[in-house]
Amino acid sequence: MEPTVRIAVSSGNKGATLQGEGLHFIHKGGRTSPLPGKVELKLANGGIFAKGLGNIQNGTAVETRLGPIRIGKERYPGRMEIFRDGDRLLLVNEVKMEHYVASVVSSELPASWGLEAKKAQAIAARSYAYMRRAAADRAYDLD
């Protein structure tokens, strides 16, 4: 099984709308709930409320059958986990480690830089992610 890294992508908000093709919740225990193309989440009554589904457990995951999960204009591969963190909604994107590394290299280095610079950046990004993952004491490894 390929290692993954968990990245906090949204925090501090009291609500969010997730969109995607074939969107579905994966509840604790593995039960799934299919959703229409989007789901609106908000904090309510000390928990997390999903419009059309009701209250959901902390740590419930959302995946799509096709393509990325969209939050506003941003697109996220992999799965998204939903947490209540005090008075804020926390969304955590779990992605394969090598997908994360490729994303970091492509976003932090100009395309004109040589292969050796890109290799060095990949080693640094992977090492940093593994270090943070090993020391994580919360629902995510990176923010």
Whether 37 has a pLDDT exceeding 90, the answer reads: no
- Which pLDDT does position 138 carry in this prediction? 87
Over residues 20-43, mean pLDDT: 88
Cα distances from 84 to residues 12, 80, 99, 111, in angstroms, run 10, 13, 26, 39
